[in-house]
Structure 1
Amino acid sequence: MNTQVIVLNGGSSSGKSAIARDLQAVLPEAWLSLSVDTLVDAMPARLTAGGDGIGFADDGGVAVGQDFMELQDAWIAGLVAMARAGAHLVVDDVFLGGAGSQRRWLDALGDVPTLWVGVRCDPAVAARREAARGDRVTGMAERQADVVHRGVHYDLEVDTTDTGSLDCARTIAAHLRSSRSDRAD
């Protein structure tokens, strides 16, 4: 069975969203790109100011509460339902809980064929990107660069420090093609 979901995990400003857009351009099937930012943007304002929702500290720290976790579980279940219905998904996520975050996805995905991709970037480079973006709390990129990968197992890793998003997308697409041909043999 062909891969139905590609999960891109990396810290803030590591290049996940650009890779997701480029994957949509290089993959032959139509892939939907959805990000944890989509979930955060869809939440009511009261849940994006901390407490039981999600909060962003001045030093770049991110804290999530029970309401956020419940909504995220529902969001994940919805994405899995879309994949089971036949949609190809590129999911751009930030595993703040490292291996625990991946476990939540694994439990929800079950037997849905998934490619796990770690998106790495030198923390200083990610911090420069973060500053240039202007839409992130200063410090998030450096704080998340390594912690999101702790204990997470990947099928493939890419590093955007010196490699552009299109080249990373092509690497991921080549991995998918290789996986398909291996299963066909």
Structure 2
Amino acid sequence: MVQVIILNGGSSSGKTTIAKCLQNSLHTPWLRFSIDDLINAMPESMFKTASGLKLGDDGSVSPGPEFRTLESAWKYGIGEMVRKGALVIIDDVFISGVEARQSWETSLKGLEVLWVGVYCASTAASAREKQRKDRTEGMAAAQAEAVHIGIDYDIKVDTTHHSPESCAGKIKKKIHQ
């Protein structure tokens, strides 16, 4: 039985909306966590040094060693919640590609994980990004394809032309196979 659903996709690809749709459509309660939750929990000082998390004016993201330490602890904490019986949906952006997936695999060792690639054409993601006040312009375009390089998924969904509800329905079917 799937215990963890990990949605990986670029900024503004629709991961959070899909995660919320999944939460509302699954018959058992699932907790939802996002990389944005971790970032929002960090002190402002983490964004002022190279060892923290540098967000470039061009949309680039550069995680430093202090960020990586906190991110690792966060991932292990989520793994422990699942081991104690929680079902969890994660919405993440694999900035470091295969290394990001490997980090999750280590944290979730022994658990049943469904790996979901959330795709969205960079033009569509960029248009969504412009509508949101909490995004750095350029981030969606920079991440749209890069976060998927070298990543194997159990299922892929594309929000360019499919609704979040449709994508969640496809994921839900995969869970119940």
Question: 2:68 maps to which residue?
Answer: 69
Paired amino acid for 1:5: V
In the superposition, relative to structure 1, how do residues 111 and 95 fare at CA in structure 2: closer, same or farther (>3 Å)?
Answer: same
Matches within 5 A, 1:19-168: 19-168=18-167
Paired amino acid for 2:82: A
For residues 38-96 of structure 1, give each alpha carbon's deviation from its aligned partner in whole angstroms, at most 9, with x where no partner exists.
Answer: 00000011002342111111110001100000000000000000010010000000000
1:108 deviation in Å? 1.4
Between the two proteins, the alignment pairs up a number of residues equal to: 177
Query: Contact (CA 8 Å) 1:50, 1:56: kept in 2 or not?
Result: no
Gapped regions of structure 2 (runs ≥ 5) = none
Paired amino acid for 1:95: F
When the two chains are superposed, the root-mean-square deviation of aligned CA atoms in Å is 0.7
Percent of aligned pairs with the same amino acid: 43
Paired amino acid for 1:6: I
d(CA) in 2 for partners of 1:88, 1:48: 31
For residues 76-132 of structure 1, give each alpha carbon's deviation from its aligned partner in whole angstroms, at most 9, with x where no partner exists.
Answer: 000000010010000000000111110111111111000000000000000000000
d(CA) in 1 for partners of 2:162, 2:121: 11
d(CA) in 1 for partners of 2:85, 2:124: 37
Report which stretch shifted further, 104-113 or 45-54: 45-54
Question: 2:8 maps to which residue?
Answer: 9
SS in 2 for 1:105: helix
SS in 2 for 1:148: helix
1:20 deviation in Å? 0.4
Paired amino acid for 1:122: A
Report which stretch shifted further, 160-169 or 43-52: 43-52
Q: Which runs of 4+ in 1 moved over 2 A?
A: none
d(CA) in 1 for partners of 2:95, 2:132: 21
Question: 1:182 maps to which residue?
Answer: none
SS in 2 for 1:59: coil
Gapped regions of structure 1 (runs ≥ 5) = 179-185
